[in-house]
Structure 1
Amino acid sequence: MDEAIVARVPEDVARGSLTKCAPLAKLVWFKSGGPADWLFEPEDLDDLRLFLARLNPAVPVMALGLGSNLIVRDGGIPGVVIRLGKPFSGCEVEDDCTIKAGGGTPGILAASTARDAGIAGLEFMRGIPGTVGGFVRMNGGAYGREVSDVLVDCTVVMRNGDSMVLPASALRYSYRHSELPPGAVVVSARFKGEPGDPEAIGAEMDRIADAREQSQPLRTKTGGSTFKNPDGASAWKLVDEAGCRGLELGGAQVSEKHTNFMINTGDATSADIEGLGEEVRRRVRDQSGIDLEWEIQRVGRP
């Protein structure tokens, strides 16, 4: 990154933690990848807004949640990575079967808050390995439901520091995609369910947790579902039929347990992981004629 641009990162206004050349591998599920030019963990909403307002418009910004569906390339991420911590992790119940969750709130906490309040319809968030900010941006989903089914609105801080509330319709959701502007940070969101029995809701959450445990390699260094399901087909089945179960490249491997997951067996680089994914795509294309689309985000410099 140009040193003149780096010099204009507003260190003097940041009240939260601002770290130059910050390692990111420990913050993402694959445990690989290079550093961020800067990592900013704001102290509160005003801190975030002022920092972005003062930040040179030429500096790119990326929000980071739990780092679950993400490959950070080995050259690191240019500009500023923003990570919302504890000040953005609250969750509260509003009227009319609605909960409000901070952008840094894990899906399991959002689902548990709804359960305790007798709000059904949000159980699927128990199965999303990420934070509210991430799955609002990506229309995260699991077990038959997705964010677009339940989102009322979200509060975002735009790249220039302005804060605004966007209704769900403004995000123009499609499968694992929204039209949220680049650099915008989701700081909170409201979700609406329907009345339900806490015990039944809890049982459904337990079912989802058990299903994930049985079918996915959760206790490995993985990144979640690798490819989007094509229309009328399952990505895992296409990968399996192309003979990719257990396929390896460097320290990366296609999971034996679930073929739409890749894992870092110990010392994989992000280049290994991404390269393995591209090889899987090639083999599936050759075998079936279907061009798999990445669901995992790949960011940063090669």
Structure 2
Amino acid sequence: MTEPALQQQGLSAPALRGELRLNEPLADYTSWRVGGPAQRLYRPADAQDLARFLSRLDADEPVFWLGLGSNLLISDAGLPGTIIHTQGCLNGISQLSDQAIRAEAGASCAKIARVASRLGLVGAEFLAGIPGTMGGALAMNAGAWGGETWPLVRCVRTIDRQGQIREREQAEFRFGYRQLKGPEGEWFLSADLVLQPGDTQAAQARIRELLDRRAATQPTGLPSCGSVFRNPAGDHAARLIEASGLKGKRLGGAEVSQKHANFIINLGDAKARDIAALIDLVQDVVERSSGIRLQPEVRRLGAFP
């Protein structure tokens, strides 16, 4: 957005260096390829620019963060307020020591895994299978193939809506399977990850093995959010969904994947309401047939019928 347009929004004294877009359609920003417009979408130039931007927002302005959009279902009606979009920015990855790297919130998990392996650091290979960014992985303690994000974390940097940046230790957070509890009203800017020295070639071979397994078992070429539901204790969501006869079930343009039942795919013309309705249907049918109510991993943003 141009400087005059930023001034009209009351966001440019001193000048912000990021990119502001108004009424920006969000379907292109989410892995499900659905979602209405954002009232405002801001892509900051760096953490200091973001701090200035946040400090100028009204106290009651809704604020959402969006990375690769792989764990979000955004309403067809769109979102009021402001989205902070980190894809293509706040995405640095740097080596801190022979056992630690710093990954910013907008860095993709897959890239973090690759960079760590090139540095001869092991323990982050599982991140290659997470279709999101560091910020999203921290927010939900994302994991894959037996690995989880937070056991790697030494400390994080956060920012609040006043633009104040803090450093927090891992001990200030409580994490479990696909969940995290910590200080309220703060978002992640970066994380310092502690890894182990290891063999680069072995780590890269492990990443290739995991990606090959993912491609063989998941519908990676179709719009989806990744796994829709958490695995219940002692079982797998995909098994419960398949046992309930829901593999291939369609509502509108949304379908329970025939390749992996814990994926819902957009066949090309799905709306967010189709996906939301299919999620609700899966929960209801599985609960009736098994007594277990599946809990979604995906977050819904905006108004749904």
| TM-score scaled by length of structure 2 | 0.93
Q: Give distance in 1, aligned partners of 2:242 and 2:228.
A: 13
Q: Give distance in 1, aligned partners of 2:30 and 2:240.
A: 27
Query: Could you say which residue in structure 2 is the equivalent of 1:62?
Result: 64
Q: Give distance in 2, aligned partners of 1:299 and 1:182.
A: 18
Residues 296 and 206 (structure 1), Cα distance of their counterparts in 2 relative to 1, 3 Å cut: same
**Paired residue for 1:190, among 189, 192, 211?**
192
Q: Give distance in 2, aligned partners of 1:180 and 1:192.
A: 20
| Amino acid paired to 1:156 | T
**Paired residue for 1:157, among 153, 156, 159?**
159
Query: Could you say which residue in structure 1 is the equivalent of 2:12?
Result: 12
Structure 2 gaps, min length 5 = 1-6
Query: Could you say which residue in structure 2 is the equivalent of 1:73?
Result: 75
| Amino acid paired to 1:280 | V
Query: Could you say which residue in structure 2 is the equivalent of 1:52?
Result: 54
Helix, strand or coil: the match of 2:176?
Answer: coil
| Amino acid paired to 2:283 | R
Asked whether the equivalents of residues 67 and 135 of structure 2 are also in contact (C-alpha less than 8 Å), the reply is: yes
| TM-score scaled by length of structure 1 | 0.94
| Pairing 1:195-210 to 2, within 5 Å after superposition | 195-210=197-212
The answer to whether structure 1 residue 138 and structure 2 residue 143 are counterparts is no
Q: How big is the shift at 1:170? A: 1.8
Query: Could you say which residue in structure 1 is the equivalent of 2:3?
Result: none
**Paired residue for 2:286, among 259, 269, 284?**
284
Query: Could you say which residue in structure 2 is the equivalent of 1:4?
Result: none
1:87-125, Cα deviation, whole Å (9 max, x unpaired): 411111111411111111011111111101111111011
Query: Could you say which residue in structure 2 is the equivalent of 1:266?
Result: 268
Structure 1 gaps, min length 5 = 1-6
1:215-243, Cα deviation, whole Å (9 max, x unpaired): 11010011110000011110000000011
| Amino acid paired to 2:29 | L
Q: Give distance in 2, aligned partners of 1:8 and 1:293.
A: 43
Asked whether the equivalents of residues 11 and 56 of structure 2 are also in contact (C-alpha less than 8 Å), the reply is: no
Q: Give distance in 1, aligned partners of 2:168 and 2:237.
A: 32
Query: Could you say which residue in structure 2 is the equivalent of 1:3?
Result: none
Q: Give distance in 2, aligned partners of 1:10 and 1:127.
A: 41
| Amino acid paired to 1:287 | S
Q: Give distance in 1, aligned partners of 2:192 and 2:20.
A: 29
Q: How big is the shift at 1:9? A: 5.5
Query: Could you say which residue in structure 1 is the equivalent of 2:236?
Result: 234
Asked whether the equivalents of residues 78 and 301 of structure 1 are also in contact (C-alpha less than 8 Å), the reply is: no
Asked whether the equivalents of residues 93 and 113 of structure 1 are also in contact (C-alpha less than 8 Å), the reply is: no
Helix, strand or coil: the match of 1:88?
Answer: coil
Helix, strand or coil: the match of 2:188?
Answer: strand
Identity %: 38
Which stretches of structure 1, 4 residues or more, deviate above 4 A after TM superposition? 180-183
Q: How big is the shift at 1:184? A: 2.8
Q: How big is the shift at 1:16? A: 0.9
1:188-209, Cα deviation, whole Å (9 max, x unpaired): 1111111111111111111111
Asked whether the equivalents of residues 126 and 207 of structure 2 are also in contact (C-alpha less than 8 Å), the reply is: yes
| Amino acid paired to 2:100 | T
Asked whether the equivalents of residues 45 and 90 of structure 2 are also in contact (C-alpha less than 8 Å), the reply is: no
Query: Could you say which residue in structure 2 is the equivalent of 1:166?
Result: 168
